[in-house]
Chains A and B, each alone.
Chain A
Amino acid sequence: MRNTLLLAAIIATVTITAAACKSDIGPGFTNDKVTLGLFVSTSGDIATFGQDTKNGAELAVEEINKAGGISKHLIDLRFQDCASEPAQGGNAATKLITQDGVLIGMGEVASGISLAAAPIFQKYGVPMISPSSTNPTVTQQGDMIFRICYLDDFQGAACALFANQNLNCKTAAILMNQDDAYSTGLGKFFRFKFEKLGGKIVAEETFKKGASDFNTQLTNIKGKNPDVIFAPVYYQDIPLIAKQARGQGIDKPLLGGDGWESDDLLPKADGKLDNCYFANHYATADDAPIVANFVKAYNAKYGSNPTSLAALGYDVVYVAKKAIESAGGINEKLTRKAVADALRGLKDFEGVTGTFSIDKNRDARKPIQMLKIKDGKVLPDRRIRPEEVE
């Protein structure tokens, strides 16, 4: 009996704590404000990505509010940290929905955390837009889940097409981070497309997250003598890989995805990345006015050049704004479902990361920009449209 009493006591405590905080989800806006939610990780091991995204998003909110807000409603941006953990990401999403009552949730960079948040947004019928989760399954979680970046399969296939058609490669090696879904995902889709185009993957090597010694892998690759090394890794890893590869006498080009993109890439690489290629959303050196203005404003506010993640964080807020406006602006008739419908019909949105539309899978359909590193500069190379790889 005592046990049950004990259990009852615990239950009672939890219940009382919890019951104190009952609230309703609300419409997501008031007379003069519209609440948008942002959930990324600003602590834990992917904090850098989250911080960049947050910087970009906050810059966009500041600009919009300075210009009068969305249909005369100022944006009230609520932020919750996901602490680089799926469970925390779910908590953050729930808090944004039930306590902050956001109209739209924007977030997470890591697909693993987006996947934990998506079912919650779906359940409450709140639109969620991921700025940069590339795993195909994210938007399959329901019809309220959207994204504005291209997917792993498109990016991997585009890289394979580029290797085959532009670099004339017959054989390739893949070097990827086994703990990172982005990396293994790109590797998988690259292999698929490259082999379909008649090429041969002669080596597939992996390393563990945080590794800084890639010599074992590179020696294996060197023995197979591939025409190109596809390394879908992040910008922290690739300079080390390049240096160690050149240190072992491997002179074949390296090819990578948007993870390479960073201001630090070239200074870190010490020229060892010359004649290498990578895919990206945009180039900071682009002279299109929308890009130039963004880079200038970002530099003025944060003192550094924006990364792709910052650009996507910036774009996601403007996508939300455009969706609200296409849904008829903020008035008592605006529902979250209407916003989702507007997102589904989003056409030719002009953002920093390119002009794109949302397709029937609620994914962004946008071209990919291949870049070449030459003499310490990043130069634009081929632009690949989605239909070219299909």
Chain B
Amino acid sequence: MLRTLGILALICAAAFGLHLVLDSIDAYWARIANLCGISILLAVSLNVINGLCGQFSLGHAGFMAIGAYVSAFFTTTLRYFDDAAGQYVTVLPLLDQSWGFVPALLLGGFAAAAAGLVIGIPTLRLRGDYLAIATLGFGEIVTIMITNFSKVGGANGLSGIPAYSNGFWIFTFAGICVLFTLHLQRSTFGRALIAIRENELAAEVMGIRTARIKIAAFVYGAFFAGIAGGLLGHFLQTISPATFGFMKSIEVIVMLVLGGLGSLTGAIIGAVTLTVLPELLRDVETSTGMPGIRMVVYSLVLILLMLFRPQGIFGQRELSLRLLRSLLPGRRKEGAPSAPAAFTAQQSVEAKTFFARAPQTLPPQNEGKK
């Protein structure tokens, strides 16, 4: 517990430091950095569903939309302009302050998680491409519902959302998401996710309660997608259903595939690359007079990756300091595993040698005993 709090404090401190740095540099690049943080949240959370658990979801933007709308509803619609005071007053005094934004954000996250639960339960019966299509349908339904819900502005969207998102909040949540996911990968739960991805039937036979685990993965991914949506809404200060269309889900998937489905660091690097790249291509597009070439490049990258390097940049491995550490013998800490989260056929050799060296790093599979 103390350790967790310590880590949380560390993340906050790091995020605050980063926030200060971003405040002092050129606003354009600071903005891109913040957007990178939001992309990281999206990619890492989708990686839990698509990469680790192997449940192909095409509805991530739907979860984002729910988070964005719920949190913005609390910070925007529940306040009114008080003429006497000359400022905005909220129905709940808590939301007056920028820190009151956190409960709104969390509510958005929980709403998205609830949607994850709702979509997770029925889609348990579906596999592979059927699941993909069902989640795509879910995403479409969400945007159609929002479009026709005039309380939140319909097609107009919501505007005038207070600019509560900043480097501190974005990177605090991104950091929490990354660290949670890192721990999750190494936990029994994480192993169960991977077991389901590799062979669901075998996992079930091994005593893993696949249904629960799959729903949990959806809920977890949806929660952080909702947070990302809320952060984006309070960053852009305006949201509309069109922002959370099918193409947004595709964008996040391209990030994952680029970095390597199932790799946490891959997801992060994919997210950063695909947020920065279009900005670098901006001048190219203007000077060549070929606007829109960006999306062509995206899709080509996606196809070529699938054809020539389907595992992405990192495959299911992680870019970690393990490599560096292996160069420094004798500094291995006891019980600090850096297990690769994979047991695929092509990596079984690697896995075997790994286990041969450090068998004690395999966590006990409690799920198996009943």
Residues of A contacting B282 in the complex (Cβ-Cβ under 8 angstroms):
80-81, 95
Check B179–A42 contact: CB distance below 8 A.
no
Q: How far is the CA of A281 from the CA of B77 in the complex (A)?
A: 34
Contact A140/B292 with A18-B26, A90-B31, A98-B26 known, Cβ cut-off 8 Å: no
Name the prevailing secondary structure of the A interface residues. helix
- Report if A14-B33 is in contact (Cβ < 8 Å); known contacts: A8-B14, A87-B232: yes
| Contact A87:B242 (CB < 8 A) given known A4-B10, A18-B30, A22-B26 | no
Q: How far is the CA of A47 from the CA of B295 in the complex (A)?
A: 14
Cross-chain contact A179 with B14 (CB below 8 angstroms): no
- Report B116-149 CB contacts with A as 1/0, cut-off 8 Å: 0000000000000000000000000000100110
- Interchain residue pairs with CB less than 8 A apart (11): A4-B14, A18-B21, A22-B24, A43-B292, A83-B278, A83-B292, A83-B294, A86-B238, A119-B237, A179-B155, A184-B155
Interface string of A207-241 (1 = CB under 8 A from B): 01000000000000000000000000000000000
Chain A, residue nearest B162 (CB): A119
**Residues in chain B near residue A98, CB distance under 8 A:** 26-28
| A148 to B: closest C-beta gap in Å | 20
Decide yes or no: A21 and B31 within 8 Å by CB, A81-B285, A179-B242 being known contacts: no
A124 to B26 Cα, complex, angstroms: 13
A99: B residues at CB distance < 8 A: 26, 28
Q: Are A112 and B240 in contact (CB under 8 A)?
A: yes
**A10 at the binding interface (Cβ < 8 Å):** yes
Interface size of B by Cβ–Cβ distance < 8 Å?
A: 62
Q: Which residues of A contact B265 (CB under 8 A)?
A: 6
Please, what's the 1-or-0 string for A71-110, where 1 marks a CB less than 8 Å from any CB in chain B? Answer: 0000000011101011110110011011100000000000
Q: Is the CB of A116 within 8 A of B237?
A: yes
Kindly list chain A residues whose C-beta atoms are within 8 Å of the C-beta of B32.
18, 91
Chain A residues within an 8 Å CB radius of B291: 42-43, 47, 81, 83
| Residue on A nearest B163 in the bound complex, by CB | A119
CB pair A94–B28 under 8 Å, yes or no, is: yes
B87 within 8 A of A: no
Contact A43-B285, Cβ < 8 Å, known A11-B18, A87-B35: yes
A3 within 8 A of B: yes
Chain B residues with CB below 8 A from A112, complex form: 156-157, 238, 240, 242-243
* Chain B residues whose C-beta falls within 8 Å of the C-beta of A115 in the assembled complex: 157, 159, 237-238
Tell me which of A79, A86, A88, A94 contacts B286 (CB under 8 A).
Answer: A79
Bound CA–CA A80/B282 (angstroms)? 8
Interchain CB contact under 8 A, B320 and A86: no
User: A86 touching B25 by the CB < 8 A rule?
Assistant: no
In chain B, positions 242-286 with a C-beta closer than 8 Å to chain A are 242-243, 265, 268, 272, 276, 278-279, 282, 285-286
Q: Which of A2-47 contact B (CB under 8 A)?
A: 2-8, 10-11, 14-15, 17-19, 21-23, 42-44, 47
- If A2-B320, A43-B294, A95-B28 are given as contacts, then 14 extra A-B residue pairs at C-beta distance below 8 Å, sorted by A number, are A7-B179, A8-B14, A18-B26, A18-B32, A47-B292, A83-B278, A85-B243, A87-B232, A94-B28, A95-B282, A135-B156, A178-B148, A181-B155, A206-B148
A179-B25 in contact given A2-B320, A137-B160 (Cβ < 8 Å): no
Asked if A111 is an interface residue, CB under 8 A from chain B, the answer is: yes
Against A, the Cβ 8 Å flags (1 = close, 0 = not) of B280-324 are 001001100001111100000000000000000000000011000
CB closest residue in chain A, given B292: A43
Residue B112 is within 8 A (CB to CB) of chain A in the complex:
no
- Total contacts A to B, CB within 8 angstroms? 154
B29 within 8 A of A: yes
Q: Are A94 and B240 within 8 A (Cβ)?
A: no
The answer to whether the Cβ of B229 comes within 8 Å of any Cβ in the partner chain is: no
Closest to B239 in A: A86
* Cβ of A147 to closest chain B Cβ, rounded Å: 14
At the interface, yes or no: A141 with Cβ under 8 Å from chain B?
Answer: yes
Q: State A292–B295 Cα separation when bound (angstroms).
A: 39
* Contacting residues, chain B, for A180 (C-beta < 8 A): 155
A6 touches which of B30, B147, B163, B321 (Cβ 8 Å): B321
Q: A15-B21, A21-B29, A112-B240 are in contact. Are A7 and B11 (CB under 8 A)?
A: yes
Check if B160 sits within 8 Å of A18, measured CB to CB. Answer: no
Taken together as a complex, chains A and B put the C-alpha atoms of A185 and B148 apart, in Å, by 13
Q: In the bound complex, what is the Cα–Cα distance between A4 and B238 (angstroms)?
A: 33
Interface bits A137-181 vs B (CB < 8 Å: 1, else 0): 100110000000000000000000000000000000000011111
Contact of A91 among B25, B31, B240 (CB under 8 A): B31
A180 and B147 CA atoms in complex are apart in Å by 9
Give B138-177 interface residues, CB cut-off 8 Å to A.
Answer: 144, 147-148, 154-157, 159-160, 163, 171, 175
- The residues of B that contact A90 with a CB separation of less than 8 Å are 31, 236
B241 within 8 A of A: yes
